A and B are shown apart, each in its own frame.
Chain A
């Protein structure tokens, strides 16, 4: 079975700017994959090449085994893209927009699926409303619906939740998660790292046109040294035995390293013996944001 997305040696140059400098990436069917990176890292360029909006300077890209240049019709039929920009055609209603989009993909009567999409995205009562009259969040959901009119096996979402309120974000993710469960491959770029951490099995981090990290989300988070204990003590005095663990202080609390949860008991005993009282205590798991920041700084060096 062919890969959902396969990218080899992909490079793109805009004049003197090198947006992508040789990217290799393979995403299997059914994956929920996040592409992370700061602004200007090349995420949108990579997506645009997959979508045929931008032509690569070098390298190849395939969607479900179809080359995006030589076999563009098949590649595009297999791909649904939710663009980052909030674009719409002010001449038409929501339903017309979706009917046209179906027609562009060669689908004549698509009203049942369009109704289902409108229902899942809470747009049913806006079906006959002109696009101009929709709020930003609604326009965003219409863009999602547009990307799905042809039931593409691979769905690309470029910053889909930018400027979308919390409730709506939840609805949207529930829907995308359902699609993923039904077998759709999801490729997501987002600035909200907690979203990527929660949703995505695998993550690639892009920086200055290169992939600087590519692994399962769980593996990226499993860096032991990053687990910490945050301790507030009264009096504010760290027992001698715990000094080697000290990573730093933050707002009056001590940050201690914790390699293993088994070590907790001993630490607490040391504190009790030193006659110090615990005012505050929490164990902090590393999150994707920390991994992300470390990776980005590490790659800079």
Chain B
């Protein structure tokens, strides 16, 4: 237990010591999206009756921030440790692969949730935000951050260069999050893209999360949860398997 707690603490401290880069910067970037899109679209777009565009947008941006930062934490920490070689500090001690997994998972979730909370609180400066089903908000925040935390750990284990990690971030994470209904309802899309969106797990994360705030969504939150949860379990299982086998960590 001490081993797990120490590794978790170390992982949280690691991003906490560079808050400007790991928390403040992503909050600011997300707020810029909010500022620009709400300014341009507020008068033109109304997705759900009685919900202003800015209020609609905020949960999407909060979820995007959670996902991107949960991914970034585990992946960047692991690749830095691998490249600098200090990964031996936690490969030499008697840490179990489960302790290793939980420490990286929870630290990445903490980073995602801290940035998400920061975006949500700053968003309140722009508009009022309802909170119809807080429990759904929490459930989706936790599950979605866990899924992307696992994703980040896998990418961090797999990547051998920063370049490869940037590739995953730019060619997988960015399209997945941007094309998931952060800025729009997928009902406004042509039929084909609407259908494609239904294969994007991030769509369900955002839609379910939004349901928690506004009480309306494109699909039923239970259906969204049913779509997201198995992905989380599969990725968690895969991460554990990689850690157990020592893939790319122990030769």
Contact = CB atoms under 8 A, between A and B. Distances in A.
Interface stretch (B10-18, B56-64, B153-161): B10-18
B238 to A, nearest CB: 20
Contact of A104 (B18, B84, B93): B93
A216 interface: no
A54 interface: yes
Contact of B89 (A52, A76, A89, A90): A89
B10 A53 contact: no
A52 B250 contact: yes
Chain A interface size, as a band, is: 35 or more
Of B3, B7, B91, B92, the most chain A CB neighbours within 10 A belong to B92
A108 B2 contact: yes
Contacts of B37: none
A180 interface: no
Interface residues on B, range: 20 to 34
B85 A55 contact: no
Contacts of B10: 92, 100, 103
Contact of A87 (B9, B13, B88, B95): B88
Nearest to A106: B2
- Among B9, B89, B246, max chain A CB count under 10 A is at B89
Contact of A73 (B2, B6, B89, B94): B94
Contacts of B91: 51-53
Interface in B1-39: 2-3, 5-7, 9-10, 13-14, 17-18
B84 A89 contact: yes
A52 B2 contact: no
A89 B86 contact: yes
A192 interface: no
Given A14-B251, A53-B250, A55-B246, A104 B88 contact: no
Contacts of B2: 103, 106-108
B84 A55 contact: no
B93 A87 contact: no
A105 interface: yes
B95 A55 contact: no
A91 interface: yes
Nearest to B5: A103
A29 B152 CA distance: 43
A178 interface: no
A88 interface: yes
Interface in B109-150: none
Interface in A20-68: 48, 51-55
Nearest to A71: B94
B6 A87 contact: no
Nearest to B89: A101
A53 B94 contact: no
B89 A106 contact: no
B162 interface: no
A77 interface: yes
23 contacts: A48-B251, A51-B91, A52-B91, A55-B251, A76-B93, A76-B94, A77-B94, A79-B92, A81-B88, A83-B88, A87-B84, A88-B84, A88-B86, A89-B84, A97-B89, A100-B10, A103-B5, A103-B10, A104-B6, A104-B7, A105-B94, A106-B2, A107-B2
